[in-house]
Amino acid sequence: MKPQVTVVVAPRERFSCTDRALESLYKNTSIPFKHIYVDGNSPRHIKRYLEAQAKEKGFHLIRTNHYITPNHARNLAIPHVDTPYVVFIDNDLVVLPGWLEKLMQCAEETGAWVVGPLYLEGEPEDGIIHMAGGDAHIREVRGGRRLAERHRFGGQPLEKYRPQLRRELTELVEFHCAFMRMEVFDKLGLLDEAYMSLADHIDLCLSVLDRGESIYFEPDAVVCYLTPPPFALTDIPYYLLRWSDEWNLSSVQRLKEKWDLAADDPFLEGHYRWGVRHRRILFKPVMDWLKSLQGQSKLSQALVGFAMGIVKKFVGPASYDKFREKNLAKS
């Protein structure tokens, strides 16, 4: 049977999950598919692994020798897609059996432009929901436009909420795994690369809904985002760039301008601060260890204070207020 869907893998935030994620794709996908893998400057051992796998499995490998944003990676692949459907998955995502056929079945039976699966987080056996559909719409509040966004059942046990999950219309999917018709790009154009880190999925969903098209949640398609930690040393440079203030603030600014959101919309600051917290995950073990030393001698305390100051430069205290004064307050 001729493949009807192309699986595009793009970098999310780490490279150390590459082999596990790729193995799950080929082990747990039972229908024919084409495959494009976008490698955004992975370390040399991952590069060699992907080259060997591309040769063995016959997929199309696109590599850049510099770090790239996720939307740029996806856009590099789109011109090479010649199937009616495409599904974007991150390079740290494991898929469970039946995932792809269930997504395609939902799209064909509903006519949806976009379909999202049941997203788990951590390890599949943990059974923790990352998102089971959600909300993403703009409300007029006190004369200003504000974004309402919510992950349904985020952080909750799947066992408890599984009976409530059914195929239904939704407003939100994420690029951990997003199945869509290629018609999306015929009508909307390529993905917006001004979203460098945050809100790329929100922009896609708002754009689809703005055209009156549908997005569906399909609970029988299950995937799992392998949340950090752990980190390999070779993960660190891209992770810091991926969640840097420069990329995060630029993305928030784009969301505000493109969708004419009020400068004081709480979502803008909240989403930015989520990016700061996510960046801090990298430094949590170091920060915890440094804090444990604070009860030692004065010299130790001084050294700890100095070390924590250095770490906090990388962690990035929230600089949102200054940014808001310079940018978001402008109408």
d(CA 8, CA 221): 17
Residue 317 has pLDDT above 80, yes or no: no
Decide if 128 contacts 158 (C-beta within 8 A).
yes
Residue scoring higher pLDDT (302 or 109): 109
pLDDT at 292: 65
From start to end of 182-251, where are the E strands?
A: 215-225
pLDDT at 83: 99
Q: What is the mean pLDDT of residues 113-130?
A: 99
Phi, psi of 229 (to 5 degrees): -75, 180
Residue 314 has pLDDT above 60, yes or no: no
Decide if 161 contacts 275 (C-beta within 8 A).
no
The single residue listed with the structure tokens 């499995």 is 57
Task: Provide CB contacts within 8 A for 161, sequence distance 6+.
Answer: 129, 132, 153
- Residue closest to 81 by CA, chosen among 33, 41, 27: 33
Q: How many CA atoms lie within 13 A of 133 on its CB side?
A: 19
Which of helix, strand or coil describes residue 52?
helix
d(CA 314, CA 260): 31
CATH superfamily of 5-225: Spore Coat Polysaccharide Biosynthesis Protein SpsA; Chain A (3.90.550.10)
Residue 286 has pLDDT above 80, yes or no: no
Band of residue 143 on the pLDDT scale cut at 50, 70, 90: confident
Q: What is the mean pLDDT of residues 171-188?
A: 98
Residue 331 has pLDDT above 50, yes or no: no
pTM for this prediction: 0.91
Band of residue 284 on the pLDDT scale cut at 50, 70, 90: confident
Where in the chain are the domains? 5-225, 233-328
Q: What is the mean pLDDT of residues 63-92?
A: 99
pLDDT at 94: 99
What's the count of helices (H) and strands (E) in the chain, helices before strands? 13, 12
Element (H, E) at 181: strand 177-181
Please tell me the least confidently modeled range out of 97-101, 139-143, 211-215, 240-244. 139-143
d(CA 82, CA 6): 8
Decide if 180 contacts 218 (C-beta within 8 A).
no
Residue 181 has pLDDT above 90, yes or no: yes
Q: Determine the longest span between alpha carbons in the chain, in angstroms.
A: 72
Q: How many CA atoms lie within 13 A of 82 on its CB side?
A: 3
SS (H, E, C) 71-109: HHHHHHHHHHCCCCEEEEEECCEEECCCHHHHHHHHHHH
pLDDT at 47: 99
Please tell me the least confidently modeled range out of 70-84, 131-145, 199-213. 131-145
User: Considering the chain, what percentage of its residues have pLDDT values greater than 90?
Assistant: 83
pLDDT single digits (tens) 3-55: 999 999 999 999 999 999 999 999 999 999 999 999 999 999 999 999 999 99
Strand partners, 177: 89
Phi, psi of 214 (to 5 degrees): -110, 150
Q: What is the mean pLDDT of residues 253-258?
A: 98
Average pLDDT in the chain: 92
Enter the tokens of residue 194. 């001004």
List, as one string, the DSSP characters of 233-290.
GGGHHHHHHHT-HHHHHHHHHHHHHHTT--TT-HHHHHHHHHHHHHHHGGGHHHHHHH
Residue 239 has pLDDT above 70, yes or no: yes
Give CA 226 to chain center in angstroms: 11
